[in-house]
Amino acid sequence: MAVIRDVMPVFELFQPVSIDDAIKLLDRHGTDAWVLAGGLDSMDWLKDRIKRPKVVVDLSQIKELKGVREANGGVEIGAMTPLTEVVRNPIVREKFSLLMEAAELVASPQIRNVGTIGGNVSQDTRCWYYRGGWTCYRAGGNICYADTPTALNREHAIFDADRCVAVNPSDTAPALIALDARMVIRGPKGERTVDAEDYFIGPGIDITRMTVLEPNELLTTIRIPSTMAGAQFYFEKVRDRQVWDFPLVNVASAIVYSGGRIDRARLVVNAVAAKPRRLKAVEASVIGKPRNEETADMAGTLAVEGAQTLRHNGYKVPLMRNLVKRAIRGAGTWTS
């Protein structure tokens, strides 16, 4: 399929200076509008001419969307805060190092200087058929090109496929879910807050988008409560190249101990389904158990139950199983 590269379609550019002004613009133009955050994902879409918005709303001038602030023992992060600032923030590093580790593994230093945390959690899937302009289900067609006998589907889903087998590519998303974060959304009708886990949606709910955001809404703030502050964290990302690349599979865990046994646990993997996958059954199974090899083996086996592979992505099953085991064991030390 021929795609015109590096020539952006004509659009009208708006640069509001307040959240209210931005929402008014989005409400006025609806699906004709495109939200520009750091611009990295947006420029790919626009230069390839796959997305052709009539209006682009640039959020870079809205100061209230930027910055990291301590709040009630937790932290609030503006959606337009660059990933580098998240990584370097002392509160994040001290209390919520899981997010620091995840954000630090996003792409490259240059990209993290520009890319925002709101953009990272809200980015679209990277399926090359979809992003190449193929008229798949997600693009309004009647086929999933990645789920055919001759398809290239090495990076696609092993869980919860519903017509579309594309995956969520975010590194910060599983960390935020493990930290029990809340996403603050503003629209014409006011503000609403959703759990990070519920911010993401699969194709069974709406195959045309990855999050609950409506066309006239903005993600404004990410709130991380003190719930998991000081827990033992683990984050690991497996990718083809050690810089820039998106995850083949990543894992984030936050575990709290009491008396040498697991008291609370939140465990999330990504890049295995259309949305980050919280492993609630695994969490429940490890409560009250020591953090040892036996517990890790049980958790890894349970984590991959129900996986359904495609022609080229079967490797994700043992990869995910072993990442979950490592997340339960921690950084090389456990009790016996």
- pLDDT for position 120: 98
Residue in this structure with the two tokens 């903005």, named with its chain if needed:
218
- pLDDT for position 243: 84
- pLDDT for position 334: 40
Backbone region of residue 206 per phi and psi (left: phi > 0; alpha: psi in -120 to 50; beta: other values): beta
- Cα separation, 242 vs 46, in Å, equals 27
- pLDDT for position 336: 34
What are the residue ranges spanned by the domains of the chain?
A: 63-122+168-227, 230-329
What is the dotted CATH code of the domain comprising 230-329? 3.30.390.50
Mean pLDDT per 10-residue interval, the chain, length 336 residues: 68 98 98 96 87 96 98 97 98 98 97 97 96 94 97 98 97 98 98 98 96 97 96 97 93 95 98 98 98 97 98 98 96 45
- pLDDT for position 280: 98
- pLDDT for position 49: 79
CA 22 from centroid of its chain's CA atoms? 23
Please tell me the number of Cα atoms within 13 Å of 228 on its side-chain side: 25
Token readout for 37 is 């955050």
Token readout for 24 is 């008014």
- pLDDT for position 330: 86
- Cα separation, 125 vs 139, in Å, equals 12
Q: Which CATH number fits domain 63-122+168-227: 3.40.50.300, 2.130.10.10, 3.30.465.10, 3.20.20.80?
A: 3.30.465.10
Residue 170: closest CA among 241, 120, 136, 224:
120
In the chain, what are the helix, strand and coil shares in percent, each to the nearest 5?
A: 35, 20, 45
SS3 237: strand
